[in-house]
Amino acid sequence: MNEDAEKIEVTLNGFKEKVTQGSSITQLILEYDEMESAMMVEQNGRFVYPQDYDTTLPETGDVLEFIHPDFGG
Amino acid sequence: MSTHLSPEEALRYHRQVILPQIGEEGQKRLQGSRIFVAGLGGLGSISAYYLAAAGIGQLRAVDKDRVELGNLNRQLLHFTGDIGEFKAESAKRKLQSLNPHCRVEALRETISEDNGDLLVGDAHLIVDGTDNLKTRKILNRVSLRKKIPFVFGGVDGLTGMATTFIPGVTPCFECLFPHGTPDKGPPGVLGPLPGIIGSLQALAAINFLVGVNSGLLTGRMLYVDGATMNFKMIEMGRNSRCRVCGADL
């Protein structure tokens, strides 16, 4: 990550976090070590499809959740 | 299939028949309904129990496993004395005893791509009580092929989630989960979580059958966190690039 890049504040998994402006969901998943192939990403209460991770760029004030889905029964 | 309520049935179902959303008409719909329950573990134990109690006409439930001691903290259809017995048989006995008006067919089968269509048959609804991604993908594809709604539920640790997939209307299971997931072994689970999720699945199923369309969990995933007691909804649109159902968009 570029240290000089402008930061924006988002809420990530319930915590206020400063992230680099222009970071994609994919980059945030890697940065926060949340990688799991079946993970769900929620942005402002809406599901984000995996194919949109690269092009979805969170903005200031966004609320993001990385959710590890439940497949037990 | 009887199309009227006997005096005994009228009394049995009285507390739900007096609900304006159900009424005698709704009860007759439940009586004429066929539901496929996939799995008789933590989720299926609960959903099948409520569905039988509510007066569903026919329940076909499938589970290949036998009851084990380690199941009993959450799989409430099975008792200590049932250990070693097939879950299908244990469940059938309880469900039939609970409500003799419900025709219960319990099969000791493994759901596969080869037999999925046959097992689901002409059910009006598929209720998920499985414990793995692969079987859910098989059920999802059966649901899409046969245009039968699929009520999904899953639990892991202290969290759980549920939604209803309606072919051609909502995303499908593989819109949301196109990839596999690492096999982490059986998750820890506290009994009330599958209790909550299985109950919600039964409720969504009943709502669908009687036409309470606001209560189906369609286009939204209910996510329950038992550690914080937070319940939240995640909105979901259809995925035009889903390789399983996207082509019909």
pLDDT digits (tens, 9 = 90+) for B88-142: 999 999 999 999 999 999 999 999 999 999 999 999 999 999 999 999 999 999 9
User: What rounded mean pLDDT belongs to chain B?
Assistant: 94
Please check the confidence at residue B1 and state whether its pLDDT lies above 50.
no
pLDDT in tens, B43-59: 999 999 999 999 999 99
Q: pTM for this structure? A: 0.92
The answer to whether the Cβ–Cβ distance between B156 and A50 falls below 8 Å is no
Reduce the secondary structure of chain B to three states and give it as a string. Answer: CCCCCCHHHHHHCHHHHCCCCCHHHHHHHHHCCEEEEECCCHHHHHHHHHHHHHCCCEEEEECCCECCHHHCCCCCCCCHHHCCCEHHHHHHHHHHHHCCCCEEEEECCCCCCCCHHHHHCCCCEEEECCCCHHHHHHHHHHHHHHCCCEEEEEEEECEEEEEEECCCCCCCHHHHCCCCCCCCCCCCECCHHHHHHHHHHHHHHHHHHHCCHHHCCECEEEEEECCCCEEEEEECCCCCCCCCCHHHC
Output the pLDDT for position B187: 86
Question: Which range in A28-42, A46-60, B195-209 is most confidently predicted, on average pLDDT?
Answer: B195-209
Closest partner residue to B155 among A40, A42, A72, by Cβ? A72
Residue-level pLDDT at A32:
86
- Interface touch A49/B128, C-beta < 8 Å: no
Share of chain A above pLDDT 90, in %: 63
User: Residue B246: is its pLDDT beyond 90?
Assistant: no
Question: What pLDDT band is residue A27 in, cutting at 50, 70 and 90?
Answer: very high
Could you tell me which chain B residue has the CA closest to the CA of A47? B236
Q: Do B160 and A73 touch (CB under 8 A)?
A: no
